[in-house]
Amino acid sequence: MPCKGITYFLSNDYNLNVKTNYMKTSNMIVPNLLLGMAGGIQYRALLKATKNPRKASENTLREILTYAKDTVYGKEHKFEYILEATNDTELYKRYREQVKPNEYEDLRPYVERHKQGESDILFPGKPVLYATTSGSTAEPKWIPITERYLKTIYGKMTKVWLYNFIQNRHKVFAGKILSIVGKVIEGYAPDGTVYGSVSGVTQRDCPGFVKKLYSNPQCVYSIADYTARYYVLMRMGIEQDITLIVTANPSTIVELQNNVNRYYDEYVNDIEHGTLKADLNIDPEIRKELEACLKPNPKRAAELRALRAKYGNVLPKHYWPNLQILNTWKCGNTKVYLDKFKDSFPKGMLHQEFGYFASECRFGLVMDDTLNSVMFPHMHYYEFVKEEDMDSPNPTFYQLHELVEGQRYCPYVSTFAGLYRYNMNDLLEVGPNFKNTPTVHMIQKTHGIVTMTGEKLYERQFIEAVHKAEDTTGMKTRFFIGFAELPESRYNFYYEFADQETTQEQAEKFTEAVDAALKDSNMEYKAKRESLRLKDAVTYRLQFESFEHFKEECIKEGARDGQFKLNLLLQDEKRQAKFNKLVK
């Protein structure tokens, strides 16, 4: 499909003929001035809210309930009655009584009514957009986004985010921005409402003067072939003076550099002649739009050849020496990728944590060089359950101001986009206060969810994929288990086949069927496999009665027989080591 809005990239603002030995500080005057004003206003509103999180939380919950009290969900759950509470303690008590904690599947029937065109179901009116992400079933989660949510979360919070970049590195907008996002429009709901990427929406709705700093047009993200997409991103990016990189998952940085290592000479040739490699798998209309942005740049090509001659293995610190900020996740399982590009970036660059951010909710922002996200109590209503109580049928819920530094909690969120007491299925750890409001950072997913590159693979999906592979191959298993191998960005699948004569070749064919089933049931898994961020799974055949041997060893080590349980998809090096001893 054509690249909409490409015209501004053809103006003088989109100039690939840049030098990398100095920064065009004149470029940053307008962004710094305007973001200093717009972002500063929103930052001061954040400061006010975080000084009294208890009051801000009460006000926000009342606003959310007032906003949705006349909807189907609001009437069913007596929002009007809840709002009659005269103080925050009574308000929270009534809210907990009338609205039970929700998983996405609890809300799906209401979302489906919106998708069919009905108004006033979860919130007033209809969504203006759906963000899609993987869920526990083959049907993705459709996260509704309202006009109000767009204006606050993807408007005001984004301004604070960009303002914060300037506060940390005032030359961050002196060059160009490499921002790797998803497609804004991936398809349409039955009623015609678009669905697409939250990151794409965030980029789309950035101020116009910021959009002019992007290193590539947005149509790049419509390139279906991931190798071709990475090639175009880096062919265009490496020609320019990049001073800010934004991409949530650091595994993307690893794959971008892999693309550089593979295609560096082709980049240089394309840059010299103003071309785009002819054999790339790119839709002709997108290619036409991209090629209109390019022109010969022999000077930059000569600089890049000189870097190759000098360093051999050319790294970001060589071709982007003025890079000010790299913004990615650094928490949870993503930490394993950081070592893969250690020492690859310029000294003095700030590698800033992206912050606690999901399709369902942008929980908060990191404001400094720590891992901790500052929460926005004036935009969301938050509740928390202690880690040790997550499996309790009646856990105690804590308010934002009640969190204790150093303790871990599972968060629940209520938003202006139809999520009420929504379980994020994450485990967070509390950091120091920002003003009087606790900060948090991500530890891991919870409840049988494993993620290495953002795939969010559910144990249930893995189990169903194995059973589907049994149906399609005719091969039967007595026992199976999967482990995430973080350093290699891959899964290891262990099978005890009913037929112990099953060969390794047959077992690997079985894994291919499991992999295909997982791609069908989990859109994020499919995307990460196709983008090469998740490598091919490794297959292991287990000895007869492997589970029995494993359980026996665990009981000898002190596990209680009556309470013994084992997840079938997990990230656990110690348990994986036990199964490695049982491999044929």
Under DSSP, is residue 519 helix (H, G, I), strand (E, B) or coil?
helix
Q: At what angle do helices 523-530 and 504-521 cross, to 10 degrees?
A: 120
Residue 253 DSSP SS3: helix
Rounded to two decimals, the pTM is: 0.79
Residue 300 amino acid letter: R
- Give me the phi and psi of 48, to 5 degrees please: -60, -45
Phi and psi dihedrals of 19, rounded to 5? -105, 150
Q: Is the alpha carbon torsion for 103, 106, 107, 111 positive or negative?
A: positive
- H helix intervals, 356-458: none
Task: Classify residue 394 as exposed, middle or buried by CB count within 10 Å of its CB (0-12, 13-18, 19+).
Answer: exposed
| Helices 573-580 & 546-556 angle (0-180, nearest 10) | 120
Dihedral (C-alpha) 177, 181, 187, 193: value to the nearest 10 degrees?
A: -70
**pLDDT number for residue 545:** 87
Please list the helix, strand and coil fractions of the chain in percent, rounded to the nearest 5, in that order: 45, 20, 35
Contacts of 86 (CB under 8 A, 6+ apart): none
The pLDDT of residue 367 is 93
Q: Annotate 342-358 with b (16+ C-beta within 10 A) or e (fewer).
A: eeebeeebbbbbbbbbb
Residue 105, token pair as written in the block: 């599947």
| Calpha distance 215→293 (Å, rounded) | 11
Cβ neighbour number for residue 116 with a 10 Å cutoff: 11
Which letter does DSSP use for residue 502 in this model?
-
**Backbone φ and ψ of 60, nearest 5°:** -65, -45
Buried b (16+ CB within 10 A) or exposed e, 198-220: bbbbbbbebbeebbbbbbbbbbb
- The pLDDT score that the predictor gives to residue 232 is 97
Residue 534 in tokens: 């998740």
Q: Per-residue DSSP letters for 27-53?
A: GGHHHHHHHHHHHHHHHHHHHHHHHSH
Angle between the 88-98 and 53-68 helix axes, to the nearest 10 degrees?
50
pLDDT on residue 25: 67
Domain residue spans in the chain? Answer: 6-21+176-353, 48-142, 364-445, 449-580
Q: In angstroms, rounded to a whole number, what is the distance separating the alpha carbons of residues 295 and 9?
A: 12
Cα-Cα-Cα-Cα torsion 137, 140, 145, 149, nearest 10 degrees, comes to 60
Mean pLDDT by 10 residues, the chain (584 residues): 30 38 67 88 95 98 98 98 98 98 96 97 96 76 92 86 94 94 87 86 75 91 89 97 92 89 97 97 96 96 97 96 96 76 94 92 92 96 94 92 97 97 94 97 81 85 93 94 91 96 97 96 92 93 90 71 66 90 95
Q: Which of 297, 395, 439 is nearest to 96 (CA)?
A: 395
pLDDT of residue 358: 86
Token pair 């929700």: residue: 102
Q: Quote the pLDDT of residue 10.
A: 27
